Amino acid sequence: MPELPDLEAIKGFLRPRLVGVAIQEVVTGQPVVLRQPSVAEFVALLRGNVFAGVERRGKFLLFPMTSGHVLAINFMLTGRLQYCLPAERRHARTCLELSLEDGHRLRYFDDHLMGKVYLVEQLDSIPHYQDMGPEATDEELTLEVFQKRLRRHFGQIKNILVNDTFVTGIGNAYADEILFAAGINPYRSRSRLSPQEVEKLYQATRRVLAEATETVCQRLGEEIHREIRDFLPVHGKGGQPCPRCGNTISQITAHYRLTNFCRRCQA
């Protein structure tokens, strides 16, 4: 799943290449991912429209158009974008292809067709969009605000971190990394965290996301469909030695979610 660092890198790559560029043609290969409006209206509204910006909100990538509409993509687990020339091989599960006036293609593909693509005039018309909490990296998300929001949620701390109503932009991978940096077991109950641990969690959230965003932005390049995770200390490293203590990193899979952590470093 593309998370805050990934989407920031994709946004940074696409913005100078798309703004002011018109869409000449729209092809919907797998229209099941198109949630609003109807496919016919979606195509008619996008054809001839011009990109006015590239933004991000939580795990959505947003493309404001000069018509006043916004193309909003929630990638979910397997959705990816491809920015390429027409000759580049088309992915088998390409759901949407935009032919741009400069000769490039912007393609959205999704192996499991789980993503959601909207074209709306008001973002609040997207289900649950208005329920998202503040950005995990927002300067106004102070420690005090973080603590106050955290107290509203119950259950395991990893589940809270990936809950967009708490703060938005954190997914499965970076929840693992934040908890590792904070030294907190992902299965700990929120109610059992001490004030000192909550502060560590807050600081780890800011630091991990900032450092990861910088790394992904440096490495992503033009292959915006790639998911760069090899530099992460624990996520996806089940069975390998912990980079901090050498203990074997645990790996647990439940409900399509992979969790990696160190049982020795994370209490």
Composition of the chain by helix, strand, coil, percent to 5: 30, 25, 45
Nearest to 21 by CA among 56, 48, 45: 48
Q: Which residues are catalytic?
A: 2-3, 59, 257
Q: How far is it, in rounded angstroms, from Cα 78 to Cα 93? A: 11
Q: How far is it, in rounded angstroms, from Cα 149 to Cα 141? A: 10
Name residue, tokens 């991000």: 56
Instruction: Please give the DSSP secondary-structure letter assigned to residue 125.
Output: G
- Alpha helices of the chain — where are they, by DSSP H? 4-18, 39-46, 143-150, 157-161, 172-182, 195-220
Beta strands 116-120; 34-36: pairing state: parallel
